[in-house]
């Protein structure tokens, strides 16, 4: 059996039709990541987004989450700016745009009991998200209190109002996009999903990979305005999560820290 090991999960390629995703790390803040992913996949699939079918979900003998999925055959995208990759990124944006205006009225992390967001507004969720890192980042000298205050002020002053939330993947990257032999583009790995502003997904991609041709193709697919003040704010908030992940797994985050300082400095 072919295996692929990650920091949080192990992927077992059971056979030609089935893949099994096993949660080997149970996070305190997200103890049911794969159950949320199963829900998100069903929501995305119902909106005609190309995602794997969920075949089963259960807890194994070691109390680990197990998500059994349809196996998608094809190749993952690379970060190279080939014509094929540019076209695929446009199709990703087009598909994710189908998830706008979901039939929910709550935001943020998914509540397992109700499968709705835990926050009453997108703004309140972002404030909660930043507050989660406040003391930790100050204590570890990642950010100063004055820098965090600029982020809070931006969240309070920028118009973040939205009529309805969208499914926000939060991990759109070439490794999570598969093009099959028929040219169909699939989006996988939805365990980081939240309910929020779809512009946030574009910002996370831009924060990670820059504003090159792949990012611009994704923007065209989404048909969203990246010149708005909230886009820059979203890149900052995305960096908070990335740096915390790097810190937790002892990955050097100095370059990302400098990137974060630079973006915060630009806030009005």
pLDDT digit string, tens, across residues 65-96: 999 999 999 999 988 889 999 999 999 999 99
Give residue 26's pLDDT band: very low, low, confident or very high (50, 70, 90): confident
Tell me, yes or no, if the pTM score tops 0.75.
Answer: yes
Q: How confident is the model at residue 101 (pLDDT cuts 50, 70, 90)?
A: confident
Closest by Cα among 219, 213, 204 to 256: 204
Mean pLDDT of 42-67: 97
Question: In the chain, where does DSSP find H-type helix?
Answer: 33-46, 83-96, 122-139, 145-157, 199-209, 213-222, 229-248, 254-266
Q: Average pLDDT for residues 234-240, to the nearest whole number?
A: 98
Residue 43 has pLDDT above 90, yes or no: yes
**What is the structure's pLDDT at 75?**
94
> Among 79-88, 186-195, 220-229, which is the least confidently predicted range?
79-88
Burial class (CB in 10 A: 0-12, 13-18, 19+), 172: buried
Domains annotated for the chain, with CATH where assigned, are: 2-70 (3.30.200.20), 74-266 (3.90.1200.10)
Q: In the predicted model, what is the mean pLDDT of the chain?
A: 95
Average pLDDT over residues 57-70: 97
The helix/strand/coil state of 22 is strand
Provide the pLDDT for residue 30.
86
Q: Is the dihedral of CA 225, 229, 234, 236 positive or negative?
A: positive
DSSP string, 93-127: HHHHGGGSS-S---EEEEETTTTEEEESSHHHHHH
64/34 Cα distance (integer angstroms): 10
3-20: average pLDDT: 94
CB atoms within 10 A of CB 126: 26
Residue 139 predicted with pLDDT over 80: yes
Would the CA dihedral through 74, 68, 202, 47 be positive or negative? positive
Residue 136 — very low, low, confident or very high, per pLDDT cuts 50/70/90? very high
- Give the per-residue pLDDT at 195: 97
**Percentage with pLDDT > 70 across the chain:** 100
């Amino acid at each position: 059996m072919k295996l692929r090991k990650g920091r949080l999960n192990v992927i077992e390629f059971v056979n030609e039709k089935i893949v099994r995703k096993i949660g080997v790390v149970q996070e305190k803040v997200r103890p049911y990541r794969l159950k949320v992913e199963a829900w998100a996949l069903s929501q995305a699939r119902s909106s005609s987004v190309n995602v794997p079918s969920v075949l089963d979900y259960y807890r194994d003998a070691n109390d680990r989450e197990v998500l059994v999925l349809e196996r998608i055959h094809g190749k993952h995208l690379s970060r190279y700016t080939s014509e094929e990759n540019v076209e695929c990124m446009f199709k990703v944006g087009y598909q994710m745009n189908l998830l706008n205006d979901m039939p929910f009225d709550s935001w943020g992390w998914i509540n397992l009991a109700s499968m709705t967001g835990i926050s009453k507004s997108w703004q309140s969720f972002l404030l909660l998200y930043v507050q989660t890192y406040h003391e930790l980042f100050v204590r570890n000298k990642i950010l100063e209190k004055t820098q965090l205050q600029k982020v809070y002020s931006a969240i309070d002053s920028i118009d973040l109002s939205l009529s309805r939330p969208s499914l926000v993947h939060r991990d759109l990257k070439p490794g999570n996009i598969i093009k099959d032999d028929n040219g169909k583009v699939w989006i996988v790995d939805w365990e980081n999903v939240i309910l929020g502003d779809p512009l946030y997904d574009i910002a996370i991609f831009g924060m990670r990979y820059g504003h090159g041709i792949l990012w611009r193709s994704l923007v065209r697919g989404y048909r969203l305005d990246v010149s708005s003040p909230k886009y820059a704010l979203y890149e900052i908030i995305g960096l908070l999560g990335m740096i915390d992940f790097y810190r937790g797994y002892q990955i050097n985050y100095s370059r990302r820290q400098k990137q974060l300082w630079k973006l915060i400095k630009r806030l009005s």
